[in-house]
């Protein structure tokens, strides 16, 4: 066991364990509630099934329909309510435990997703009722470094973004943010059926650098379509906005309908927002491939930039070696973009649900946090390995 691991065990026992004991009591209560729900669902499903059972059973096949009715009704009742209980518990556990776990490395904040479960949880906790739910849904929880859809479009094609957990804070004098996201577009077939087509699932790691880039340099484990650099972000598309943004925009539109000056002001603001974080239509970026000398890096990644000199400043031999080392930890499923004073690194893993507190495992057992600890230490290693807190030389 390394010194770092020994230090974490000591930290966990002194700082996390007392709160974990309280969370464990909540988990056991939630398990009891789920068990009661399952029993209730079984009884109710049985009562619903009785009318479908023949009075005289001549063949076992006559029980197929009653069994199907029982199974469907049991699953619908049990899974629906249990899912809600698990969601509320999971959110509560993360809000109570993740900040304590994260503060082992620095000053971090856990920001839950803006959804109905978060709103209901906070409303129940604070006893604020329906007004509290609405206030939660409209609260702006954006942190200092925010995901930039305009930049993301240059690496990942999408129409909409689903936001999940977010962690933001400072590590080794570097402001960082980790967002769990999924990007997708919606396909519609000839019969009008809609299907989500995911283009990315994973985490977006953002870090504020001590360098303000004039151009945009992109690194990808897949081919980069340079025409995407001149795409205009669809900021006015409601589906690509956070729920809080949609509700606020709806209120602004309603207010503007009553006042012509407000309507003109809102129209001007929307036009400005359509250019924000992206490029104006009259600006055409000159994007070119960056020729690399490192054969291993060329084999793994495609690089292009709007500024060849700046790209070579970033892609030093030392940096490429360090980037390859980081990429190997994530099976080389990485994309990165350097712009303004930020670096965005997208780590894809479509099967993984990041930063979860297990429901069927004890909250007081330190071993049950191993997956979270491994994931977060690998993410922090990006800052250390790439030396993101340094001024020059990356």
The 10s digit of each residue's pLDDT in 128-155 is 666 655 565 556 554 445 677 777 888 8
Compare 268 and 20 and report the one with higher pLDDT. Answer: 20
How many whole angstroms separate alpha carbon 328 and alpha carbon 213? 27
Per-residue pLDDT, 14: 93
How many whole angstroms separate alpha carbon 17 and alpha carbon 22? 9
Per-residue pLDDT, 291: 85
In eight-state DSSP terms, residue 58 is -
Percent of the chain residues past pLDDT 70, beyond the cut: 73
Compare 278 and 192 and report the one with higher pLDDT. Answer: 192
Other Cβ atoms closer than 10 A to 37: 18
Residue 340 pLDDT class (50, 70, 90 cuts): confident
Tokens of 107: 């000053």
β-bridge mates for residue 346, sequence order: 204, 335
Q: Is it the case that residue 279 has pLDDT exceeding 80?
A: no
Compare 311 and 189 and report the one with higher pLDDT. Answer: 311
β-strands 160-171, 174-188 pairing: antiparallel
Phi, psi of 277, rounded to the nearest 5 degrees: 60, 10
Compare 156 and 283 and report the one with higher pLDDT. Answer: 156
Per-residue pLDDT, 187: 84
Tokens of 367: 């071993």
Region 159-165 average pLDDT: 86
The 10s digit of each residue's pLDDT in 169-227 is 988 888 899 999 999 988 887 777 888 899 999 999 999 887 788 888 999 998 887 77
Instruction: Spell out a b/e string for 238-249, using b for 16 or more CB atoms within 10 Å of the CB, else e.
Output: eebbbbbbeeeb
Q: Is it the case that residue 245 has pLDDT exceeding 60?
A: no
The 10s digit of each residue's pLDDT in 57-105 is 666 666 777 788 888 888 888 888 888 888 889 888 998 999 999 999 9
| Least confident among 94-108, 260-274, 328-342, 371-385 | 260-274
Whole-number CA gyration radius for the chain: 25
Beta strands in the chain, from DSSP E residues, in sequence order: 107-111, 160-171, 174-188, 194-220, 288-289, 302-305, 334-348
Per-residue pLDDT, 265: 67
Compare 266 and 211 and report the one with higher pLDDT. Answer: 211
State pTM to two decimals: 0.76
Per-residue pLDDT, 124: 64
Phi, psi of 72, rounded to the nearest 5 degrees: -65, -45
Residues in the chain: 394
| Least confident among 41-50, 111-120, 355-364 | 111-120
**Residue holding tokens 């906005």?**
241
**Residues near 156 by Cβ (< 8 Å), separated by ≥ 6?**
183, 199, 200, 335, 346
Per-residue pLDDT, 28: 95
With beta carbons less than 8 A apart as the criterion, state whether 391 and 210 touch: yes
Chain centroid to Cα 305, Å, comes to 27
**If residue 167 lies in a helix (H) or strand (E), which one and from where to where?**
strand 160-171
Percent of the chain residues past pLDDT 90, beyond the cut: 25
With beta carbons less than 8 A apart as the criterion, state whether 224 and 289 touch: no
Q: Could you tell me which of 78, 85, 98 has the C-alpha nearest to residue 20?
A: 98
In eight-state DSSP terms, residue 60 is G
Compare 282 and 171 and report the one with higher pLDDT. Answer: 171
């Amino acid at each position: 066991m390394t010194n770092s691991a020994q230090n974490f065990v000591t930290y966990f026992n002194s700082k996390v364990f007392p709160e974990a004991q309280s969370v464990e009591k909540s988990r056991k209560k939630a398990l009891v509630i789920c068990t009661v729900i399952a029993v209730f669902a079984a009884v109710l499903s049985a009562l619903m099934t009785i009318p479908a059972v023949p009075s005289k059973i001549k063949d076992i096949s006559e029980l197929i329909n009653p069994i199907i009715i029982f199974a469907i009704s049991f699953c619908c009742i049990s899974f629906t309510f249990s899912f809600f209980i698990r969601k509320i518990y999971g959110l509560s556990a993360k809000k109570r435990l993740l900040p304590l776990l994260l503060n082992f490395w620095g000053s971090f904040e856990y920001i839950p997703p803006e959804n109905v479960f978060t709103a209901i949880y906070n409303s129940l906790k604070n006893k604020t009722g329906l007004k509290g739910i609405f206030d939660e849904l409209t609260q702006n929880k954006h942190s200092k470094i925010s995901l930039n859809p305009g930049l993301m479009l240059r690496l990942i094609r999408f129409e909409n973004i689903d936001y999940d957990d977010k962690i933001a804070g400072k590590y080794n004098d570097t402001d960082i943010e980790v967002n769990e996201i999924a990007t997708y577009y919606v396909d519609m077939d000839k019969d009008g059926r809609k299907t989500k087509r995911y283009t990315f699932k994973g985490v977006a790691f953002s870090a504020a650098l001590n360098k303000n880039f004039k151009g945009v340099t992109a690194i990808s484990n897949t081919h980069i379509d340079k025409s995407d650099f001149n795409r205009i972000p669809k900021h006015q598309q409601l589906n690509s906005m956070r729920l809080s943004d949609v509700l606020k925009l709806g209120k602004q539109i309603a207010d503007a309908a009553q006042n012509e000056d407000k309507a003109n002001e809102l129209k001007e603001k929307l036009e400005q927002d359509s250019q924000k974080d992206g490029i104006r239509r009259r600006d055409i970026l000159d994007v070119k491939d960056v020729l690399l000398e490192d054969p291993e890096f060329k084999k793994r990644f495609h690089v292009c930039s709007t500024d060849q000199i700046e790209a070579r400043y970033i892609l030093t031999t030392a940096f490429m070696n360090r980037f390859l080392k980081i990429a190997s930890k994530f099976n080389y499923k990485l994309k990165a973009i350097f712009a303004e004073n930020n670096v965005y690194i997208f780590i894809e893993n479509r099967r993984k649900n990041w930063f979860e507190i297990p429901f069927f495992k004890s909250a007081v057992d330190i071993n049950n946090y191993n997956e979270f600890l491994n994931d977060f230490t690998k993410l922090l290693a990006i800052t250390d390995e790439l030396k993101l807190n340094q001024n020059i030389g990356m």
